[in-house]
Amino acid sequence: MNDTISLLLPIILPIVMGTVLFFMKPMKSRRPVLVYTGISLVATAVLIIPACLTVEKPIVLFYLTKALPVMLKLDGLGRFFLVMVSVVWLLAGFFSFTYMKHEKNEKRYFAFYLITYGVLVGLGCSGNLVTMYAFFEMMTIASFPLVVHNQSREAIMAGLKYLFYSFFGAYMALFGLFFLCRYTNTITFTPGGTLNMELVAGHEGLILLVAGLMILGFSVKAGMFPLHAWLPTAHPVAPAPASAALSGIIVKAGVLAILRVVFYLVGPDFLRGSWVQYMLLTLSLVTVFMGSMLAYREKVLKKRLAYSTVSQLSYILFGIALLNPIGLTGAFLHMAAHAFIKCALFLCAGAIIFRTGITNVDGLTGIGKKMPLTIWCFTIVSLGLIGIPPTGGFVSKWYLATGALDSGTYVFQYLGPIILLVSALLTAGYLLPVTIKGFFPGEDFDYVSLKKCDADAWMAVPLVVLSVLSVLIGMFPGGLVDYLTQIVGTLF
Amino acid sequence: MNEIMLLFVVIIPFIGGILIPLIPWKNRKIMCIFIEAVVLVNSVLVWLLLTNRPQESMTLLKFTGNLSVTLHVDGLASVFAGLVASLWPLATLYSFEYMKHEENEKPFFMFYTMTFGVTLGIALSANILSMYFFYELLTLVTTPLVVHTLTREAILAARTYLYYSLGGAAFAFIGMIFIIVYGRSTDFVYGGVLSVAEYPGNVNLLLLIYVLAFMGFGVKAAVCPFNSWLPKAGVAPTPVTALLHAVAVVKSGAFAIMRLTYYSFGTEFLRGTWAQYTVMTITIFTIVYGCSMAVKERHLKRRLAYSTISNLSYILFGVTIMTPLGLVGALAHMICHAVMKICSFFCAGAVMYKTGRSYVYELDGFGRKMPKTFGIFTLSAFALMGVPGLCGFISKFSLANAAVQSGNVLAYVGIAALLISAILTAIYMLTIVMRAFFPRQDFDYETIADVEDPNWMMLVPLSLFCVGMLVIGLHPQPLLTLFETIANGLF
């Protein structure tokens, strides 16, 4: 009973708080809304700690039908996801306290921000496929108002695109759910997979097709080619902290779902060497390259970052597709690193927009003189994303490349690392110009009219914390790697 | 319960209906109370009947030999009768408010109430002749409801409706004759009554007749290509489109097909034949076709009507899987779709009643002015899409589960069709929700200052449907267990 409460609380609390906030009467000052949101965010994050530490057993809340229990269970992967979500959600939330000053409808924004938090916690705690699917759908719905927040025509079209791509993906996954319910022993997530081999015998082709569809379906959220087009449209139109949360976390929900399907239901052994593995390898590598290329030629900063998300997420998917322990460890590491880094990058972009209104990369000449702290943070996390030691990106890419070389996937074991390197070069190409132009505007730069306008505390602290985290992961990866190796060990 | 009650539940709405124009009402309120009382009493009687079932059947008319109009309660009958009896009082309550600003209320309520009796007659029919009898009667009593507004459009729609329905009934008639001639009896017996073994040479003929009869009854269930009457009939007042064209009439068609497939021809005989593949292909096509047309349509009620076409074929798809589980899925979707669709139709009706607007593009910003109505509409949209936790997911899961278990490859294609339809549903429902809640940036709320939520007579039914969607969505097991018992022929 205690376990039930300690797991349910962090899911229900933000959802209830958010709903209450949504229906509250409009207030004159924005202060009460901020205090309310702040308390709710912190309370949820605090409540997650005992849940992560104490709960071990799966909890069945109720049965939808006999075959479909709604089940919560916290395992290693779930805890990892929850911690990642909480860090990003808290920091991006604090950042919005300042940032949302110049947007309308703050109350709605914070309400749905809280609700989405609860839904994400639920997603991390989901113990079986149907529960995860339910939270996955809810996540799309709850995060949608964040995307369309400013209600410009562009935002609404982007929001619709987001919705329909997401539902399309979710329904592809649902197709698989129907079949997995029949061909597995249980739909509870079990490390190593739960396929019922007696039933599967003779239907291997069908199960592979189903697994392939599920992976493709969930990969829509992770922005994998060919269903990535919504991401660069939808992420940049949201308010910057929401883009940060979307690009940092919501896309990872797609990755989490793919992990659950591949390693906890179908099983890596069933997929190894099949066309599904090669499809995922091919598509992820195509996306890595394509995303970087598109980011390189994009001029609008937030769009550039969104394309970069497309590319980086496929690093993670590539790590999953390798289906070996080292590659998977790399995928996990890159999940964490990318969550912090991409969140920080979007927040930097947000700070720049908030202070100067500049959205285009070409307008950023000399920005480092105006906002030194912001651009310093931008530079540090950029180095992390490129993968320069001692930052987080280096460690994860190292594991990914080693994993690829070990994987025995013929051409991909060489092609993979090469593409990763090329993409890293492109990453440098699309991120560093901001730093270079920002700090070295050239001789003819007008220093006289320069005014300093750096981020205030609500903005600066999250930026600094995220930058420090991204470096710490790279400098002291030992503990994290041990923890992840432990998770990975149960899966193979 | 005595079997004479079977007669009462069919007759009471008739008598009540005929009394409405005959009594000189002093004021409208008393008339409304009278109508609601008749409907409510009848619903209570139906529920009493279903809970204490009479074992005997009740013969109303006897023609020759084994041909008679007979009423009897069995499992399938109780599902449909229970559904109708639960929805009718709520829909009647809603229509009091809605009809306030329409003319010719009395004939409207007369036929509206009589339809209740006829629908119960279809549900409680014990043999194919009785069902056919009530089926024809249904067409006759509902035509005045379609023609109600007496506009040119309405008259044309009523004409189309009549032609289609009578034409369909003619095909159904052929099916009936063959059952009478080739069957062991005309009664509905789970597993079918055909004695095929006695006519080995006629298998293909009988299959052809099955397909014809399927299409015949399918006219009411708006199977493609016989669907065009349904969107046209949307000119009728909303209580009619909501209750009759989303539940009573169209589900009578689906119900008749269930009877035909599981209780007359028998699934043993049909499963795996070309007839099964033919009808399943038709339903799969209709599922996708209906949704695609709904996306294209800009008139709110017609869009929902197209959505009904698609969803009815979900039910028929379940039927054509021709396994007990398929029937479970079909029944589940029959109930779930009834609740979801009547809910969304009533929301559309509330909008039309309060503002007179009926096109999707006129609904900008309504979410803020009619928060309750559009909140409920959003919930019904999610339910129709099949978001877990709401009833649409349960029925979709039951259908897909049946399809997976059947091992029939065409049924797998059907699952894909269900999901394509789900994404199209998301498109046609959520674009409405979007407009209502997120109008464009510079939208001027002054232009819709007069828009407001309707009163309790409309909101109470709507909220009850919401509760229904949630309860069925979260705790469907008792219902599914009941359906499983029925589908195994045990109830």
Give the minimum alpha-carbon distance from A445 to chain B in angstroms, rounded to a whole number: 38
Point out the residue among A138, A156, A181 whose CB comes nearest to the CB of B440.
A156
Asked if B139 and B217 count as a contact pair (C-beta separation under 8 A), the reply is no
Predicted model pTM: 0.91
Residue where the block lists tokens 């200052």: B449
The conformation of residue B441, written as its DSSP 8-state character, comes to T
What pLDDT is attached to residue B289? 93
Question: Which of A66, A133, A167 is closest, CB to CB, to B426?
Answer: A167
Do A80 and A228 touch, CB atoms closer than 8 A? no
- Taking only the tens place, the pLDDT of each residue in A134-169 is 999 999 999 999 998 888 888 888 999 999 999 999
- At A342-379, the pLDDT tens digits run 999 999 999 888 888 888 888 888 888 888 888 899 99
Distance of alpha carbon A149 from alpha carbon A158, whole angstroms: 11
Closest by alpha carbon to A218, among A151, A185, A173, A268?
A: A173
In this prediction, residue A392 carries a pLDDT of: 81
Which chain B residue is nearest to residue A139, measuring alpha carbons?
Answer: B387
Candidate from B398, B430, B475 with C-beta closest to A163 = B430
Identify which of A153, A178, A182 has the shortest CB distance to residue B440.
A153
Give the model's pLDDT for residue B256.
92
Nearest Cβ partner for A65 among B394, B426, B431 = B394
Nearest to B363, CA basis, from B259, B437, B267: B437
- Residue-by-residue DSSP string for A197-256: HHHHTT-HHHHHHHHHHHHHHHHTTTT-TTS-THHHHHHHHS-HHHHHHIIIIIHHHHHH
d(CA B167, CA B153): 21
- Pairwise CB contact (< 8 Å): A164 & B423: yes
- Mutation target vs B (from A139, A178, A183, A220; most B CBs, 10 A cutoff): A178
Residues of chain A with pLDDT under 50: none
Domain boundaries, chain A: 1-172+223-259, 272-492
**Pick from A63, A48, A64: nearest CA to A7:** A48
Q: Which of 43-102 (A) contact B at CB < 8 A?
A: 62-68
- Cβ atoms of B478 and B319 within 8 Å: the answer is no
For residues B337 and A270, what is the distance between their CA atoms, to the nearest angstrom?
A: 38
Contacts of A164 in chain B (CB under 8 A): 423, 426-427
**Taking the CB of residue A468, how many other CB atoms lie within 10 A of it?**
14
What's residue A282's pLDDT?
92
What was the pLDDT predicted at A113?
92
Q: Per the CB < 8 Å rule, is A152 touching B419?
A: no
- State the Cα–Cα distance between residues A60 and B268, nearest whole angstrom: 39
- Decide if B386 and A174 are in contact by the 8 Å CB cutoff: yes
Does the beta-carbon distance from A134 to B389 stay under 8 Å? yes
**Residue A137 sits at the chain B interface (C-beta within 8 Å):** yes
State the pLDDT at residue B316.
93
Contacts of B481 (CB under 8 A, 6+ apart): none
* Rounded Cα–Cα distance for residues B462 and B97 (Å): 13
Alpha-carbon gap, residue B245 to B464, rounded angstroms: 20
CA dist., res. B347 & res. B454, Å (int): 10
Q: What element of type H or E holds A61?
A: strand A59-65
Interface of chain B toward chain A, CB-CB under 8 angstroms: 382, 385-389, 394, 397-398, 400-401, 403-405, 415-416, 419-420, 422-423, 426-427, 430-431, 434, 438-441, 474-477, 480
Residue A345 contacts residue A304 (beta carbons within 8 Å)? no
Cα–Cα distance, A212 to B386 (Å, whole number): 22
Please state, in angstroms and rounded to a whole number, the distance separating the CA atoms of residues A396 and B341: 50
- Residue range A375-433, pLDDT digits in tens: 899 999 999 898 888 888 888 898 899 988 888 788 888 888 899 989 999 999 999 98
Q: In B, which residues are within 8 Å of A172 by CB distance? A: 419
Contact B245, B340 (CB under 8 A): no
- Which string of b and e fits A452-467 if b means at least 16 CB within 10 Å? eeebeebbbebbbbbb
Secondary structure of residue B417 in the 3-state scheme: helix
Q: How far is B367 from chain A (nearest CA, A)?
A: 14
Q: How far apart are CA B154 and CA B143, in angstroms?
A: 10
Residue of B nearest to A207 (CA): B404
A458: closest CA of chain B, how far (Å): 28
Contacts of A160 in chain B (CB under 8 A): 430-431, 434
- Angstroms from B462 CA to nearest CA on chain A: 20
Tell me whether residues A178 and B403 touch, CB distance under 8 A: yes
pLDDT of residue A135: 93
CB contact under 8 A, A141 and B382: yes
List the beta strands (DSSP E) in B329-479: none
Contact A387, A424 (CB under 8 A): yes
Pairwise CA distance, residues B49 & B54, whole Å: 7
Q: Which two tokens stand for residue A219?
A: 């990969």
Q: At what angle do helices B75-98 and B324-355 cross, to 10 degrees?
A: 0
Kindly give the confidence (pLDDT) of every residue in chain B, 491 residues in length, as a single tens digit, with 9 standing for 90 and above. Answer: 677 888 888 899 999 999 888 888 888 888 889 999 999 999 999 999 888 888 888 888 888 777 888 888 888 899 999 999 999 999 898 888 888 877 788 888 999 999 999 999 999 998 888 999 999 999 999 998 888 888 898 899 999 999 999 999 999 999 898 888 888 888 888 888 887 667 777 888 889 999 999 999 999 888 888 888 888 888 888 888 888 888 888 999 999 999 999 998 888 888 888 999 999 999 999 999 999 999 998 888 889 999 999 999 999 999 999 999 999 999 999 999 999 999 999 898 888 888 888 888 888 888 888 888 899 999 999 999 988 889 889 999 999 999 998 888 899 999 999 999 999 999 999 989 888 888 877 777 777 777 778 888 888 888 999 999 999 888 888 888 888 888 887 76
